[in-house]
Amino acid sequence: MTGPEVLVAGAGGFIGGHLVADLVGKGFEVRAVDGKALDEWHQRIDGADNRRLDLRDQAACNTAVDGVATVYHLAADMGGMGFIESNKALCMLSVLIDTHLLVAAQAAGVQRFFFASSACVYPTDLQTSPDNAGLREADAYPAMPEDGYGWQKLFSERLCRHFLEDFGLETRVARYHNVYGPRGLYTGGREKAPAAICRKVIEAKLSGSDAIEIWGDGEQTRTFTYVDDCVYGTQLIANGDVREPVNVGSAELVTINQLVDVVESIAGVSLQRNYKLDAPLGVRGRKSDNTLVRERFGWEPVVPLATGLEATYGWILDQMTT
């Protein structure tokens, strides 16, 4: 083969940008592709072959995979809960990228195809209590994922499986659990809870306000995964021998109120919390069960929430004050 040996699809996104930076730093030849204009990318890494291609189009996917040995597919139209609950059709249309990229990869003789899935594939009836015991990979079936985004991810997981079975394309799948960190969106409607809370606390502190708005009652629970752990786990799974989906998520379960506690401690403030009970909330409780990733890879995410939030808060503060 000629040309770059690695393609990162969705390179202009938050996780994709971090992945490209890590791969380039390790000496890989990386073709970085995204549908957004280059000046809208979260990170544009020097040393990568940065290209704008609309991967919803089959011809663009054919161009993207030409000459590469490994595909990291992270491209999707998505955001935080406020976005995915209000844009179900847009989220599901990402299946065009998934199908066209798989077809192109199989035709081009790609050796390994990684697909970034989501914890949103898990049945909503297993996530009705904040005291979630942990979602095992096998819990995805019988299927009843989050509407829209969750169905798109679950369908494409199955498509990866059948491309492996029918065509011999070595596919690997990770289910991401609430990834956060510096260089992500923190405003505009697509941001996720950690970045949104950091922004709200910073806005309150800068304006002298003594209150912030919290979506829901603050007792809904999640496990939040720092982006460095996500990037490490992505490459571990992509290069491993586990052909079934694998969770990539922290096991540190916290309520949204506890998340706010940590951010307030970093900021050195204590704020009144105004709860918006009619806001989009998603499931009541979600936790990653890391048994499989520990058993098969001897690893699980290690960055504590307080450590990751301190880095995230510092980066967002810099963006809002400079």
Task: Just list the catalytic residues.
Answer: 149
Beta-sheet pairing, 253-255 with 221-223: antiparallel
DSSP secondary structure of 228-284: HHHHHHHHHHHTSS--S-EEE----EEEHHHHHHHHHHHHT---EEEEETTS----S
CA 133 to CA 28: how far, in whole Å?
39
Which residues, other chains included, contact 101 with Cβ-Cβ below 8 Å and sequence gap of 6+?
Answer: 9, 55, 61, 64, 65, 71, 73, 75
Q: Which residue has the tokens 């809870």?
A: 193
CA 129 to CA 148: how far, in whole Å?
22
CA 216 to CA 198: how far, in whole Å?
17
CB 19 within 8 A of CB 231: yes
Residue 246: phi, psi to the nearest 5?
A: -130, 135
CA 101 to CA 107: how far, in whole Å?
10
CA 160 to CA 45: how far, in whole Å?
28
Q: Which residue has the tokens 């890879």?
A: 297
CB 301 within 8 A of CB 240: no
Q: Which among 61, 138, 127 is positioned nearest to 94, based on CA atoms?
A: 61
Q: Which residues pair with 9 in a beta bridge?
A: 33, 73
Which residues, other chains included, contact 295 with Cβ-Cβ below 8 Å and sequence gap of 6+?
Answer: none
